[in-house]
Amino acid sequence: MIALLKRDLALALRSGGGFGLSLAFFLIVVMFVPFGIGPDSGTLAKIAPGILWIGALLACLLSLDRVFQLDFEDGSLDLLATAPLPLEGIVAMKALAHWLTTGLPLSLAAPILGFLLHLPAGTYFWMFLSLLIGTPALSFLGTFGAAITVGLKRGGLLLSLLVLPLYIPTLIFGAQTVVLLADGLSNTTAFAILAALSLFTFAIIPFAAAYALRVNLR
């Protein structure tokens, strides 16, 4: 399993779908918001958590089509499916590799980029923590969408359409974790639900994605 994780990390970095592309897209989204909304610091501070979460969500979408597609094209996915390793474990490792190259760097960069959007003081740590806890759910859900569309040519758009509705609960409670704190309210419930969503995807998605892969590889 560890060897597979290292292999996927190396492939993600070499193919151009690693943290560099995601971070660049994230930065562009954050920089463009003041041009469209205006430079008023009060307005930017109010919408900053939502913008940062939306930027992270869209950045995660950039490399989802590479999770299984490269292995499918060169035949490696067939070998992995017939290997003694459980397919559910292979799916989990690929989702983890995607998170390590996208979600984790985005979580670390969010507080820094939040400064550009006048993120309210006292919420920087929670902005980082909400993304750290929530982005694994984005990677696992995206892996499920990638498993469904792995055999389709130009399935990137369909993948986005399948995955985006599944992202909505994570987006809502991730942003609310920071918004409630900025308004002086308790964010315990929102954060607990966000953590529960991630734990739910860890438990369910590997099995669902493995089943989708078996169907596509028949």
Boundaries of every domain in the chain: 2-216
Query: For tokens 């930017």, what's the residue?
Result: 44
Please give the mean pLDDT across all residues of the chain.
87
- DSSP notation for 83-111: SSS-HHHHHHHHHHHHIIIIIHHHHHHHH
Q: Which two tokens stand for residue 128?
A: 């980082």
d(CA 135, CA 141) in angstroms, rounded, equals 10
pLDDT tens digits, residue range 58-88?
A: 998 888 877 887 777 777 777 777 777 788 9
Q: What single-letter amino acid sits at 70?
A: L
CA 111 to chain centre: 17
Q: Measured between alpha carbons, how far apart are the two ends of the chain, in Å? A: 24
pLDDT > 90: percent of the chain = 46
Maximum C-alpha span of the chain = 58
Count CB neighbours of 80 within 10 A: 19
pLDDT tens digits, residue range 13-64?
A: 666 555 678 888 899 988 888 888 888 888 888 999 999 999 999 998 888 8
Global confidence as pTM: 0.90
State the SS3 of 38-54: CCCHHHHHHHHHHHHHH
